[in-house]
Homo-oligomer: A and B are copies of this chain.
Amino acid sequence: MSDVKKICAEISRQAKEASRKVANLSSQIKDNCLLRTAELILENRHSLQEENKKDLKAAEEKGLSSAFIDRLTLSDKVIDSMVQGLRDVVALPDPVGEVPRMWKRPNGLQVGRVRIPLGVICMIYESRPNVTIDAAGLCLKAGNAVILRGGSDAIHSNMALARIFHQALREFDIPEAAVQVVPVTDREAVNELLKREEEIDLVIPRGGEGLIRFVAENSRIPVLKHYKGVCHVYVDKYADIEMAQDICFNSKVQRPGVCNAMEGMLVHEEIAKTFLPAMAKRFKEAGVELRGCKKTLSILKDAVAATADDWGQEFLDLILAVKIVGSMDEAMDYISKYGSNHTEAIVTKDYERARRFLKEVDASLVLVNASTRFNDGGQLGLGAEIGISTSKLHAYGPMGLEELTTTKFIAYGDGQIRE
C-alpha cells in the first residue's frame, strides 16, 4: 500500500469512528465549540496570516494569477468573514433530532421520521482557505465528521486552520478526527478518498467544472454538485417593462462571475421592440456585450451576432446571449435544451403564464418576477450554504444544514408483531 493510500485509509477510518460521537453531541456543545473556534481564529489572526504568507509566497513564485492569489489570501476581511460565518451557523437551529413527521398505524405503532447526520462528508475544493472553516462549521453543526481536501497551494493555511479547530474540539472533548485536513498535497489523495465508500457517505466538490467532473467521474461515493450555472430570464409579452429591465440588469450585472448570474435573455417577440432598445442602452453603459439572434440584430443594430456556441454558454463575464422567441413554449423549449437546471426566471403580469412557467420549467430554482441572483442559501432563507446541487437526488438547489442530514424511521411500539 502506498503511503498516500495508507494516510487516506487512516483518515477515513478515524472520521467514521469520530462520526458516531459527533452524531450524538448536544446542540450546545457543538455551538460552543464553533464559537470557541471563532474566538481562536481571532486570537491567532497574526500566526494564521504568517502561515498564509508561506502559501502566498509559493504561489507568487509559481507565477499563479492575481485572481488565484486573491482567493488564496487570508486578509483581515476574509478572516473576519470566516468568524462571522461560524457565528451565523451557531445562530441556525440544529437540524439533528428534529422529527418532521410522526403518524400512527392502525395497530397502534407510532411511526416517525427523525433527522440524523449523514455521517462522514468529504469536501474537495480549490485553494480557498475560507472554505475550510465554512465547510467544517456547517458539517459539524449538522453532526457530521468532515474530511477537507483543499487545493494544494493552500496547504499551510489549511493546516493552520485545522490546528485551531482541533484546539477547540479538544477543549470540548470532541474527537479531533471530526475535522481533518488531508495533509498530503499529492493528487493521488483525491483518488484514494473517492474510493473510501465504506467510510465516506457523501462527497461535495466545489470549484471549476474540471475539478467537479474529475470528482464525479472517479467517485464510488455519492457526489452532490453542479457543473455550471446557465441561467435565463424570459421576458414575457405581458411583462412589466421597467420591472423586466431591473430584473435582467440585476441578474446580469450585479455579480457577473457567479453561477446564478443570467447568461441568456429570452424576449417575447411582441414586446421586443419596446423592451430591447432601452435595455440594451443600460447594458451598454455597464459594459455588457450583447450577442443576439437574427431578430435581435434587426432591432439592436450594434449587437454582435451570436454563434451557435453562445447559446447555453456560461460566460461568467459581462457578455449576454439574447434571443427573441415567438412564444412562451419556445422559451421553455430553449431553456430545456440550453439551461443547466440551475436558475430560471420569468417576468410577466399574466397569472396563468406565471403558474405554467413555475410548474413546467425544470431548474433548482424557478422565479417569477425576481432576479436569478437569489439562488443562494442565504438569500432563500436556508442560512449558510455548502453549495448548490443541480442534480435531483437528495438535494436540488442550495444545500444548507438540512441537506447535510437525512432521516431515519423510528417506531414506538407496545409489543406489536406482524400478523
A interface with B by C-beta (< 8 Å): 20, 23-24, 97, 103, 105, 109, 111, 114, 116, 118-119, 201-202, 217, 220, 222, 240, 243, 246-247, 249-251, 254, 336, 354, 358-360, 362-371, 373-375, 379-381, 391-394, 396-398, 406-418
Question: Of B220, B368, B410, which one neighbours A367 at CB under 8 angstroms?
Answer: B410
A416 and B371 contacting across the interface, CB-CB below 8 Å: yes
A381 and B105 contacting across the interface, CB-CB below 8 Å: yes
Complex CA–CA separation, A318 to B118 (angstroms): 34
| Interchain nearest-CB distance for A264 vs B (Å) | 18
Complex CA–CA separation, A366 to B412 (angstroms): 9
| Interchain nearest-CB distance for A106 vs B (Å) | 9
Question: Of B114, B119, B222, B363, which one neighbours A222 at CB under 8 angstroms?
Answer: B222
Question: Of B23, B369, B408, which one neighbours A413 at CB under 8 angstroms?
Answer: B369
| Interchain nearest-CB distance for A187 vs B (Å) | 21
B380 and A105 contacting across the interface, CB-CB below 8 Å: yes
B119 and A365 contacting across the interface, CB-CB below 8 Å: no
What copy number does this chain have within its complex? 2
B359 and A393 contacting across the interface, CB-CB below 8 Å: no
Q: Which residues of B contact A417 (CB under 8 A)?
A: 246-247, 249-251, 254, 370-371, 373
B109 and A240 contacting across the interface, CB-CB below 8 Å: no
A380 and B364 contacting across the interface, CB-CB below 8 Å: no
A415 and B254 contacting across the interface, CB-CB below 8 Å: no
| Interchain nearest-CB distance for A373 vs B (Å) | 4
A375 and B409 contacting across the interface, CB-CB below 8 Å: yes
Q: Which residues of B contact A379 (CB under 8 A)?
A: 105, 418
Q: Which residues of B contact A247 (CB under 8 A)?
A: 415, 417
B201 and A370 contacting across the interface, CB-CB below 8 Å: no
A409 and B371 contacting across the interface, CB-CB below 8 Å: no
- Given A109-B370, A251-B417, A369-B416: 9 more A-B contacts, CB < 8 Å: A119-B362, A201-B391, A222-B391, A243-B415, A246-B415, A365-B409, A367-B411, A373-B418, A394-B394
Given contacts A254-B418, A415-B247, contact A410 B365 (CB under 8 A): yes
A396 and B406 contacting across the interface, CB-CB below 8 Å: yes
Complex CA–CA separation, A116 to B250 (angstroms): 28
Given contacts A247-B417, A381-B105, contact A393 B202 (CB under 8 A): yes
A396 and B407 contacting across the interface, CB-CB below 8 Å: yes
Residue of B nearest to A373 (CB): B418
Complex CA–CA separation, A416 to B240 (angstroms): 13
Complex CA–CA separation, A317 to B52 (angstroms): 61
